[in-house]
Structure 1
């Protein structure tokens, strides 16, 4: 069993790693000139997982943010042509968000940026260490409540 001090140290290391991952991903996004913020990137990636265009409320729930935050993100992505608002075919008062062709192209670039960032972050690890880390991360993620897994 670990001590509270050891758990606190692990928590601090995880937070430092998370901040580093975000910085590196942001740099890789900027290098590709997509003009997408990390939050917009997350929304675009989340949209890609839906089989049909979701409502703003669905996105807010999935991203665990207030609806107003989703509106701001969608406004930015719509202005750049990566998403569009479309009326729901069964209820025209409901607006859904769909990814455009330009948004799908941006998603491909985002995947490349994330892959490059991952390669940079994992470079110090051997293949064996990466496998162990993957197993540990799976254990942590599988132990999380379902709502927290959508990041």
Structure 2
């Protein structure tokens, strides 16, 4: 019995599919289509800030937003100025540290992020609509595990090279 027949993962078969998924998401302009559909005239990073705050369900410090987006703080700060100017986010005092500021969604920003998420999640839901409940649950569990394990392995590589 070969590796491919014994149920073990064949990375050489998975990697091209992951690359194809990345290409499909980029080529389809998924984010841009969703932003157009819900009327959000922002660039990708700014929308990602809104979505990060919406999914957190609470105000966050700039550093926490950056960590969740896997970028550096100044990258987030640049986009916050535009989001504040448009009335989509605002700064609030951190109740645990009066010197620190939290970033929170305004009602308009929360509504825009919710519309965006509903649109994107609707497309993903439609894509797996014919899958069994078990297949959807298995896929979600394994995708989460893959991302978490790969992230940890890459962090280990980063730790050993610095």
Which TM-score tier does this pair reach, normalised by the shorter chain?
A: 0.7 to 0.9
Equivalences, count: 144
Q: CA offset at residue 144 of structure 1?
A: 4.1
- Considering Cα pairs closer than 8 Å and 6+ residues apart, tell me whether 1 or 2 has the greater RCO: 1
Q: What root-mean-square deviation, in Å, do the aligned CA atoms of Structure 1 and Structure 2 show?
A: 3.0
1:77 matches 2:80: no
TM-score when normalising by structure 2: 0.70
Task: Answer whether contact 1:28 1:116 (CA < 8 A) is retained.
Answer: no
Tell me, which stretches of 5 or more residues in structure 2 are unaligned?
5-9, 153-162
Q: 1:26-105 counterparts in 2 under 5 A?
A: 26-50=32-56, 52-105=58-111
SS at 2:117 equivalent: helix
1:107 matches 2:113: yes
1:8 matches 2:16: no
SS at 2:80 equivalent: helix
Q: Deviations over 1:44-98 (max 9, x none)?
A: 2221244542211121122221001110221222122110112334544312101
Change (3 A) 1:53 1:38: same
Larger radius of gyration: 2
Tell me, which stretches of 5 or more residues in structure 1 are unaligned?
none
1:127 matches 2:134: no
Change (3 A) 1:140 1:112: closer
The runs of at least 4 aligned residues of structure 1 exceeding 6 Å deviation read none
TM-score when normalising by structure 1: 0.74
